[in-house]
Chains A and B, each alone.
Chain A
């Protein structure tokens, strides 16, 4: 199977769909001539021309809203948020128009739109440029929210996103653009609402998504090497909304313990929702309270040591697992 980077996987999905379907266009800041700040859209302008690869002024509300209008007319625009932090400039368009037009038009209008870009922190960008917005966007009915971690899923879920009839919030693991993985040749899609068991285990379920999944896999390796080895199952949610309750609950019924890990703040977050779902649907199977490991309740700091302290670490996860196993 060919190996490509996360970045190449995304680009490959977009280019394939643009070849297949004339209604697909890409809009965003510096995505054309410049090639994309993270080079995800590099070469697309040369291949598809300026009517389909549209460089915009730095005005997220304007161009995101315009993309919504294009989508309502039957086009399939892909908006690049240079980073998701800038989506706050477009939040009225995303939440008030994209998420709701189908509903308040009584089903007469739809918004087949993808908004994609890097989400999360870890590269010392401090408070205004570091957010994990999956809980924020996941709160709104009408949106779909996904967060792939492997190049395989990046491509397969991007194809699904572009073909979806509804607006998709596509949260990329910005820190992972250069990571490599196997991606099948030809057309394949990864459906929304299906979690992935990234590692099987019997003693505890570790739940995460996005770049946290890689950290959970490393933590699981260490837990397996402990004096009394712990076999952790790692679930990559992949999709925040729709949500795969079935895979989650099946795992917890097997392990009886769960640790949910996220980079975002804990209050009103994805981990809170996951913990609630587990206690609602698998209360009698639990042998310990569900543990949540989250980002520090403060705006993201700049200094490297503070930033490291602000995000969940392998050790934080291991400590939470020990608490769940009463060790």
Chain B
């Protein structure tokens, strides 16, 4: 399965805008210039086997995530949400596309930019917002906050706050899925900042090694938003072709335009199927952009320009999807109605969070150990 040296030089990029060949010629320069590619043409590829109702549903999900993140930002500025708050705004197409191919039995693990993952997997927005508000009705009972969302019944296994630290866990989870004889896979999301961390390299090495025996169905989803906090990729590594780092570990990979839902859907369908069938890891680098600050209290204009942000806003994944739907003949009124409904869901989540009780003080000492537990 290992990529040969010759292959590793070629980068395959999926995009619904262009054929793969055209895209591979433009990807590198686009990324180096850190500028978005042009708006999509009408000649996009089909988005897998999804029908128009399914596409509208994905539009609804992306819209809900955006409203949710906007509401979280407001709650943070009002002092109702504490700690750190990392928003997914701008990156919605990535998780939305990949989690469309979630199957029961799959395991999802990500870092701290995790609200979208919970919402997409079916966690109730009320409970997610309540967790951000530190309420006892929160997804993890008010014990984890924004960075530690878990909903294991729906496949979400966290929610981790240390850059890179969750990557070995995901690889071990994938081993367990095959050891236990299931056909589940692990979707392991990481940011561009995590790829410089030793935990990534140690874990990717194990994934490649174990995958050789069909014992590691890990789909690495590298969300390259070009900034590890405020440090751009170019300021963090001399080898800026991030997905090529997987070559070191015998893990094949490709790139995708992470702002284009339909491109993500295409690659997600193929990649999840491939990992499920082979039991070997595979990696996707999704080129995306965080419209929001790294953390809600971040000084975003110290490390990037207003022009850069404005340019990427032209390729806002929700705007792109909306344009495609309109072109396909969906009525504007239909999309407006979806937005209104999404807004109502988020408004209700905020109301629920605000009105929910705080956790009981007794919860301080539960879940330290199994059962009644022990301390000193």
Contact = CB atoms under 8 A, between A and B. Distances in A.
A39 to B, nearest CB: 25
Interface of A: prevailing SS: mixed
Given A72-B173, A73-B180, A106 B150 contact: yes
A65 B367 contact: no
Contacts, number: 159
A30 to B, nearest CB: 15
B168 interface: yes
A62 interface: yes
Interface of B: 107, 109, 138-144, 148, 150-152, 157-162, 165-177, 179-180, 198-199, 201-203, 205-206, 209, 215, 366-371, 374-376
Interface residues of A, number: 46
Interface in A45-93: 51, 56-57, 59, 61-75, 77, 92-93
A97 B375 CA distance: 18
Nearest to A245: B376
B159 A92 contact: no
Contacts of B173: 69-70, 72-73
Contacts of B169: 65-66, 68-69, 72, 97
Contacts of B165: 65, 92-93, 96-97
Nearest to B153: A108
Nearest to B207: A66
Interface string A152-191: 0000000000000110000000000000000000000000
Nearest to B166: A97
In the complex, the 7 A-B pairs of residues with the closest C-beta atoms, listed nearest first:
A65-B168, A62-B202, A69-B172, A66-B172, A106-B140, A73-B176, A69-B169
A71 B366 CA distance: 20
Given A57-B206, A62-B206, A105-B158, A74 B148 contact: no
Nearest to B170: A69
A273 interface: yes
A104 interface: yes
A105 B148 contact: yes
Contacts of B179: 25, 51, 70, 75
A75 B142 CA distance: 28
Contacts of B177: 73
A292 interface: no
